[in-house]
Structure 1
């Protein structure tokens, strides 16, 4: 009786971390929107990285974790710091000056589609199957629906900002494929990996601060709290939770956290910021989710399972005939 309870506890912990990461990352779009009322986009990116690095660094020190000695590993982690943190954080922060937090959270759900493209076509860590190609195509169609080109394209702000968010999710997709190819077997713990990723990115952003984070600052309690939550939890602890989920469930299943984040982001945007959705945004999001399911082979697995059940039922019925 004791063995099953020990098995359930770690699984329950992973499920809890999966849900917490989805809720925190879904809330991050609200925190960014509030923070942008008093600080610039570069300052938002800088704050979240520095606060995240401090939170993770404290945990690393308390647990006395060792940093890797290999210069090659540090080189790969520097690439990830740029592509997984610095560039997408700047793009998201800038774009949210021109789009709602709800729309930004919906676009963030395209990350699995971008991951499939980057893993199959750019870094070639896996071969794209027919279902994945169809899924990518369906996902692109969903993005077009979200943009709504029939409404007229405002190239000065909104569409450019939406493309910037897609650029950020493309960075995430590239980074996830890069991790799989170059740092999957380095032996680092989830905490050490997250600390190096965020910490190196924080150092890079501090160096870039005179260029990208030089703007007037107006702080209020709401802005300060948003920056702390976005940094220490959203860019700190949530990354550790996600790494633990990836290692327990694998990248494909772990990436389904993107089903949670847009729901949280949209609900908070509507309830707290009073944002409104156009009909095409949730419809496009549904199309994107269908593309994700196709790209991950989930719809095909369900179809095969249903066909197997049908065949088994037919066989049993034939066997029972006189």
Structure 2
């Protein structure tokens, strides 16, 4: 992003800390969503996390006296990002987690860089993939097949549909990141203001959809309320700012490796807190996906070149 950076004067350690914290919070979000579904519908969970995230970011904008864009064109792009980066994937993730474990959901979330490579190359044409990157996309797809485990039989039940919904969510993330690069890379806003822009527009969309999505009974207790606050204020608020700061300091390729952290956190919390089981094919498939990500981002070759230069 070429907008003013919040981290221009920050130390590398500060940026690294924000990167790790975002990964931990986002990895925990799958646990929080699972707990929240114990008293709310999927639409209510998505609605709450977006509204709480928008309110949190709005408070930061006011406290820091951030300047927002006055361009209707920019706000139009932010409305698109609010839809594709928040509304659609959050609804899909919340619905899918009724039928799959939080650990599986976090593993599927790791396919985001693969989806981003596909969208950036084939749909928005902001990148041209090399042969090794195409191979990475294919390896990533193979990893997804391992996670789904078709050899166990595909009966088109809720679990399979839920896994396809998870892929739809990460594809929506891929669309958003590519769209952001092509149409919203020069808004003139800081990371906080820019993040508030699209999450705030998502909040407006959810407010309009309130009569359709959320007007039904809920059951609240302390764990559910705490989970909603965590996934909303932290996962959809503060963590998005941390991620924007990391993107601006490191670039989108390095910043997207946060997906290496989220499934580890998600799976561990699912097993320890919720007592979820992990089938052998899920971590194996995740490792294949990670290999595909490295290839799709051409990081293996870049790392080899860097080592050769350092040895000279």
TM over 0.5: yes
The whole-number CA distance in structure 1 between the counterparts of 2:12 and 2:303 is 23
CA–CA distance in 2 between the matches of 1:121 and 1:83?
17
Residue aligning to 1:78? 79
Matched-pair contact (CA < 8 Å) for 1:119–1:125: yes
Matched, 1:106 2:116: no
Structure 2: stretches of 5+ with no match in the other structure: 1-7
> C-alpha distance in 2, partners of 1:8/1:120?
33
SS in structure 2 at match of 1:265: helix
Runs of 4+ aligned residues of structure 1 deviating over 6 Å after TM superposition are: 307-310
Deviations 1:170-190 (A, max 9, x none): 000110011111111111100
Aligned equivalent of 2:155? 154
Structure 1 position 212, deviation (Å):
2.4
8 Å CA contact 1:41–1:213 kept in 2: the answer is: no
Contact 1:35–1:226 (CA<8 Å) still a contact in 2? yes
Give 2:233's aligned residue.
232
Closer/same/farther in 2, CA of residues 115 and 105 from structure 1, 3 Å limit = same
Pairing of 1:32-71 with structure 2 (within 5 A)? 32-71=33-72
- The unaligned stretches of length 5 or more in structure 1 are 1-6, 313-322
**Residue 9 (structure 1) shift:** 5.4
Shift of 1:306: 5.7
Asked if residue 206 in structure 1 is aligned to residue 201 in structure 2, the reply is: no
The equivalent of 2:248 in structure 1 is 247
State the distance in 1 between where 2:307 and 2:65 align: 50
The 8 Å contact of residues 42 and 209 in structure 1, kept in 2 or not, is answered as no
Deviation at residue 128 of structure 1 after TM alignment: 1.1
Question: CA offsets per residue over residues 271-321 of structure 1, 9 Å max, x none?
Answer: 0000011111000000000000000111122344566789x6xxxxxxxxx
Aligned residue number for residue 269 of structure 2: 268
CA-to-partner distance for each residue in 1:161-206, whole Å, 9 max, x for gaps? Answer: 0000000000001100111111111111000011111111011011
Residues 1:121 and 2:113 are matched in the alignment: no
1:197 counterpart residue number:
198
Give the aligned partner of residue 284 of structure 1. 285
Q: CA deviation at 1:154?
A: 3.4
Q: CA RMSD in A?
A: 1.5
Counterpart position of 1:315? none
Structure 1 CA distance, aligned partners of 2:9 and 2:188?
25
Deviation per CA, 1:49-77: give whole Å up to 9, x if none. 11111111111011111210111000000
Deviations, residues 241-296 of structure 1 (Å, cap 9, x unaligned) = 00000000000000000000000000000000000111110000000000000001
Task: State the Cα distance separating 1:102 from its structure 2 match.
Answer: 0.1
Report the Cα offset of residue 239 of structure 1.
0.5
Q: Distance in 1 between matches of 2:216 and 2:155?
A: 26
Aligned equivalents of 1:68 and 1:203: distance in 2?
A: 17
Aligned to 1:138: 139
2:3 equivalent in structure 1: none
* Helix, strand or coil at the partner of 1:85: helix
Distance in 2 (CA, whole Å) between partners of 1:211 and 1:131 is 46
Please give the secondary structure, in 1, of the residue aligned with 2:218: coil
Q: Secondary structure at the match of 1:218?
A: coil
Q: CA–CA distance in 2 between the matches of 1:174 and 1:17?
A: 24
Residues 87 and 8 (structure 1), Cα distance of their counterparts in 2 relative to 1, 3 Å cut? closer
Q: Which residue of structure 2 aligns with residue 298 of structure 1?
A: 299
Moved more, 215-224 or 242-251: 215-224
